[in-house]
Amino acid sequence: MTRVALAFSGGLDTTVCVPLLEEEYGYDDVIGVTVDVGQPAAEFDEAEETADALGLEHYVVDAREEFAQLCLESVRANATYQGYPLGTALARPVIAEAILEVAEEQDCTGIAHGCTGKGNDQLRFEAVWRSSDLEVIAPVRELGLTREWEQEYAAERDLPVEGGSGGDWSIDTNIWSRSVEGDALEDPNYVPPTEIYEWTDNPSDETEEIEITFENGYPVAVDGEEYEPVALIEYLNELAGSYGVGRTDMMEDRMLGLKVRENYEHPGATTLLNAHEALEGLVLTQEERQFKQQIDQQWSQKGYEGLIDAPLVGALEGFIDETQQRVTGTVTIRFEGGQARPVARDSTFAAYSAEHASFDTETVGKIKQEDATGVAKYHGFQRRLANEAIAANAADEDDE
């Protein structure tokens, strides 16, 4: 008997994939796998109810702790893509690995997803799965299905989907971010209603300050109270979200070259990333900060591509680990006007001296202010020579 494991959400795409895998691909048995990376409870209820209605053998895997740890690794790398924290991108490899484990445990010969051929997720899932010996199947992509065709197919087969749409927006949620796209949002000139937001309130005049503690680049406590990764992220999502922190409305460049309108909510992620970068600014040298920007950009790009296990990432993390040994201390964040703004930072590793930087002291340690005169004379010397040569040559041409 041939079996295939399907990444299963209970939505339209994955629901229609169940009969298609049997009828179009000849599989004797389909099993559904849903992976928990922090979705709302209602999504698991929907998946379970749909699986029961289909008579589908259904597995649920809790991967929240693994995913939360990866999110905190992304904080150490200041990971963003085109300005927003990576959420869906980091979740996909975690989900793919969990589904692959179930597929292998259940002696499946195939593994499938319901992604289209236009998005990023097909690439992120398959980057993991194609390292196995299982056949990789993508019915929606391979059969060229449209949402309209799927809705008609679901109606004809009396498949258990609510009208075949599940709502106006296409929403993806995990503990790190919530993305909203589709329908009217596909128009870049459309102003989205506030109803698309669930994690963030509209910013108000209220403010609050909190202190976040870091150890080796990892956030570990808020206002002195220690939290495990999942609880820490969930707590900051609720708190920062209540001040309207972490909304992004952008035109995103996908891996296949398409430009798409995306709306994101990421209050906890924004808070932690802002705090971490502020602490790095205190403890890292100028050269480290400049070079780490290149490291962070490469880490973020691989994270966006779903290639977080690439050898390059391991090499990048060698540098990140070295620098993060000193990213230990506290950062005070003020929530105001929809922002999570660092307003204070402290660390025993600070590469900073208030006495040296002060305008009220005459010297910088053993260095006298007049010692800077020689530096000032040399500063820009090559530029002056170049400009003199340019001017001289221009004058010669005018004389001719």
CA separation for the pair 140, 137 (Å, rounded): 9
* Token pair belonging to 134: 């299982």
CA separation for the pair 181, 260 (Å, rounded): 9
Residue 202, marked binder: no
Residue 80, marked binder: no
HSE, CB side, 13 Å, CA atoms: give it for residue 229.
19
Residue 332, marked binder: no
Residue 114, marked binder: yes
Residue 384, marked binder: no
Residue 300, marked binder: no
The single residue of 165, 170, 201, 341 carrying the catalytic annotation is 170
Question: In angstroms, how far is CA 77 from the centroid of its own chain?
Answer: 11
Q: Is 371 a catalytic residue?
A: no
Mutual angle of helices 311-324 and 64-76, in 10-degree steps: 70
The single residue of 76, 92, 178, 247 carrying the catalytic annotation is 92
User: Contact 293/155 with Cβ under 8 angstroms?
Assistant: no
Residue 194, marked binder: no
Residue 179, marked binder: yes
Residue 124, marked binder: yes
The single residue of 121, 247, 261, 296 carrying the catalytic annotation is 121
Per-residue DSSP letter, 354: H
Residue 353, marked binder: no
Residue 76, marked binder: no
CA separation for the pair 17, 112 (Å, rounded): 9
Residue 361, marked binder: no
Residue 13, marked binder: yes
* Token pair belonging to 173: 């949620």
Q: How far is CA 399 from CA 384, 386, 391, 392, 393, in A?
A: 23, 20, 12, 11, 10
The single residue of 13, 36, 172, 296 carrying the catalytic annotation is 13
Residue 337, marked binder: no
- Token pair 């002195």 in the structure block, residue: 224
SS3 (DSSP) at 249: strand
Q: Is 92 a catalytic residue?
A: yes
Residue 120, marked binder: yes
Cβ burial 106-137 (10 Å sphere, 16+ → b, else e): eebebbbbbbbeebbbbbbbbbbbeeeebeeb
SS3 content of the chain, % helix, strand, coil (to 5): 45, 20, 30
User: Contact 196/169 with Cβ under 8 angstroms?
Assistant: yes
Q: Is 261 a catalytic residue?
A: no
Residue 15, marked binder: yes
Q: Is 170 a catalytic residue?
A: yes
Question: In angstroms, how far is CA 171 from the centroid of its own chain?
Answer: 15
226 backbone dihedrals φ, ψ, rounded to 5°: -80, 145
Residue 50, marked binder: no
CA separation for the pair 204, 133 (Å, rounded): 54
- Residues marked as binding for L-citrulline? 84, 120, 124, 170, 179, 252, 264
Query: Residues annotated as binding site for L-aspartate?
Result: 116, 120-121
Which residues are marked as active site?
A: 13, 92, 121, 170
Annotated binding site for ATP: 7-15, 114
Annotated binding site, which residues? 7-15, 84, 114, 116, 120-121, 124, 170, 179, 252, 264
